[in-house]
């Protein structure tokens, strides 16, 4: 399998890169920090896991880099079977309400620019007859809630787009895997109080890889979130007004 991972140098992306390497995948890591890309590639090669690892600079905040980066990844790997997007941004509701610049950045990266990257990726996958596009959304997008009104709005929009993408191009060979983690212990969430069902990046990566291999359309990671969010979606609106989760 030839896989390009945008965000493969940190957290869930790095854990997924290691899991794919253990499967013998040929990898191209995409990210904005070239020194971190080089360190991550060296880490995979030192572990003796990856069949091949290449790196390409690609900043999610710079759409002009998307096409050239994906083209470079294709050339390095000899084609793409899988494109993964784990890159994104996060802020708590309080941080986003207090900081308009941070709010704009999170909404822009997690919705608009992630979709623009996916559009470039799906064109390249379909040009070769199809492939898998795996994108990390969030359980925060499953239903509007007070603590994630802004972040959840961006993830809800992203999940909606991915659902439509599968409807539009699934019959043409494009498999779309939408991964919805809950709280994950990463640099983004450092210092925040962990809620129930918090997971490690490795546990989320394992669930995502299983979903990729089995062709799941939606993956909750860890799986318990599927039931949790079904219950949350069923809550009457007056209840949601009173609760703080």
3-state secondary structure of 33: coil
Q: Cα(130)–Cα(175) distance, rounded to whole angstroms?
A: 8
Tokens of 39: 């360190």
**Cβ neighbours around 45 below 10 Å, total:** 13
Kindly tell me if the per-residue pLDDT of 43 is higher than 90. Answer: no
Whole-number Cα distances in Å, 146 to 141, 180, 181, 243, 245:
12, 18, 18, 8, 7
Tokens of 213: 């291999």
Helix (H) or strand (E) holding 82: strand 82-85
Q: Cα(53)–Cα(206) distance, rounded to whole angstroms?
A: 20
Strand 52-57 with 131-136, pairing = unpaired
User: Smallest Cα–Cα separation from 139: which of 204, 85, 202, 212?
Assistant: 204
- Predicted TM-score of the model (pTM): 0.92
pLDDT for the residue 170:
96
Per-residue confidence at 121, pLDDT binned at 50, 70, 90?
very high
Q: Cα(181)–Cα(217) distance, rounded to whole angstroms?
A: 14
Lowest mean pLDDT among 9-18, 132-141, 147-156: 9-18
Q: Which residues contact 38 (CB under 8 A, 6 or more apart)?
A: 55
Place of tokens 């390409």: 56
Q: Give the tens place of pLDDT for each residue, 138-183.
A: 999 999 999 999 999 999 999 999 999 999 999 999 999 999 999 8
Please tell me which residue in 90, 117, 151, 169 is annotated as part of the active site. 151
Per-residue confidence at 35, pLDDT binned at 50, 70, 90?
very high
Contact 57, 65 (CB under 8 A): yes
Q: What is the mean pLDDT of residues 190-200?
A: 84
**Cβ neighbours around 153 below 10 Å, total:** 17
pLDDT for the residue 243:
87
Q: What is the mean pLDDT of residues 226-239?
A: 94
Per-residue confidence at 196, pLDDT binned at 50, 70, 90?
confident
Q: How many residues does the chain have?
A: 245
pLDDT for the residue 67:
97
Q: Give the tens place of pLDDT for each residue, 67-88.
A: 999 999 999 999 999 999 999 9
User: What single-letter DSSP state applies at residue 223?
Assistant: T
- Please name the residue ranges forming H helices in 92-217: 93-98, 100-107, 114-127, 149-169, 201-214
pLDDT for the residue 216:
95
Kindly tell me if the per-residue pLDDT of 50 is higher than 60. Answer: no
Tokens of 182: 């809950």
151 is annotated as an active-site residue:
yes
């Amino acid at each position: 399998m030839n896989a390009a991972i945008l965000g493969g140098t940190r957290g869930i992306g790095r854990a997924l890169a290691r899991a794919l390497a253990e499967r013998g995948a040929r990898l191209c890591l995409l990210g904005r920090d070239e020194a971190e890309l080089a360190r991550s590639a060296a880490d995979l090669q030192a572990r003796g896991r990856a069949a091949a690892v290449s790196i390409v600079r690609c900043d999610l905040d710079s759409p002009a880099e998307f096409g050239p980066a994906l083209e470079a990844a294709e050339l390095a790997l000899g084609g793409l079977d899988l494109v993964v997007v784990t890159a994104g941004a996060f802020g708590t509701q309080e941080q986003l309400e207090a900081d308009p610049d941070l709010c704009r950045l999170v909404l822009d990266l997690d919705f608009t620019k992630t979709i623009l990257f996916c559009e470039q990726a799906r064109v390249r996958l379909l040009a070769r007859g199809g492939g898998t596009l795996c994108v990390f959304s969030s359980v925060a997008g499953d239903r509007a809630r007070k603590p994630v009104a802004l972040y959840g709005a961006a993830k809800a929009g992203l999940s909606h787009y991915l659902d439509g993408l599968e409807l539009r191009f699934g019959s043409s060979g494009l498999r779309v895997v939408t991964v919805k983690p809950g709280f994950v212990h990463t640099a983004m969430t450092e210092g925040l109080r962990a809620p129930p069902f918090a997971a490690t990046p490795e546990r989320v990566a394992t669930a995502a890889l299983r979903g990729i291999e089995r062709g799941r359309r939606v993956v909750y990671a860890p799986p318990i979130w599927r039931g949790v969010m079904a219950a949350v979606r069923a809550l009457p609106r007056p209840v949601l007004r009173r609760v703080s989760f």
